[in-house]
Structures are given as C-alpha cells and as structure tokens.
Amino acid sequence: MAYRIVLECPGAPTREVLETALEAMVKANAEWFRVEWAAGREPPCCLGCAGVKYRPDRPGTTSATKGADAVLREGFASCQSAAVYYAGRERALALEAGEANAALDHRAVLDERAHGDAPDGYWHALVVQGAELKDVTEEMDR
C-alpha cells in the first residue's frame, strides 16, 4: 500500500524543505531494502540495471519522490526517486554491516541547475557517498 504526502507551497520550496523530504525517503528506502533482504529477496542494486527509465519532473512545477517499491513497479523515476533509491540501498548496506555512522554518509542532496523551462533554475538530486557526488540518472535510459 502506498501512502502519499503532498506539500503544496505558495512558491518554490527551499532546498532545506526538499532535502528534508529526500532524507525521509532515504530512511524509508533503507528500511525497505532491509526488509526485502530479511525475506530472502534481492532488489536490483541500481535502477539502470533494472531497466527503470529516467523521467524528469517538470522544472519549476513539481517535485515527486517515490519509494523504491513504486519505482521498480512503475519502471520510471525522477532524479529524486533515483537518488533516494541508491542512497537508501547504500545506507541499508552500511547498517547491515554494523556501520551506523557510515550509513549517514549516504544521502541525497540537491544541485541547482539552469533549465530553459525554469527561469529561476531547478533542483537536480544527486547522491552523496562520503566526499563524492554521483548523478545516478546518468546510468539510466530515458
């Protein structure tokens, strides 16, 4: 069963608001992976190898972030959904290895980018792994 949370802002939400939502989804995805592994299932390590397509949100109007199970079921993901999938899996792996502090190194952050349809720019979600930033959408087909 899916549960939908909608934040309707009077203008574009701040980076802080969006990154807080992303962090909540990383936590939820990490728990989902742990439950799947405990049940003997092995979800795909990445969305690209699972055949999930990258489908960007419309800049300046929408920010939709879906959980791991919804992304795999629907077969497409926004940059936010892809970033929280990957960060959630990496965090779950660290937690399973007993590395609770290292688990927090895996998170999703936003990078401001230019876009013709969004004169004020738009946020693109990336994955933080230690000191590195990774754009997991580069591994996905459109």
Which pLDDT score, from 0 to 100, does residue 77 have? 94
- What is the spatial distance between Cα 40 and Cα 21, in angstroms, rounded to a whole number? 29
**If we measure between CA atoms, which residue out of 81, 108, 100 comes closest to residue 92?**
100
Indicate whether 5 belongs to any domain: no
Indicate whether 1 belongs to any domain: no
- Owning domain of residue 51: 15-139
pLDDT tens per residue across span 95-127: 999 998 888 889 999 988 766 666 566 788 999
Indicate whether 130 belongs to any domain: yes
Which pLDDT score, from 0 to 100, does residue 100 have? 85
- Domain count for the chain, please give it: 1
pLDDT tens per residue across span 25-58: 999 999 999 999 999 999 999 899 899 999 987 7
pLDDT band at 60 (very low <50, low <70, confident <90, very high): low
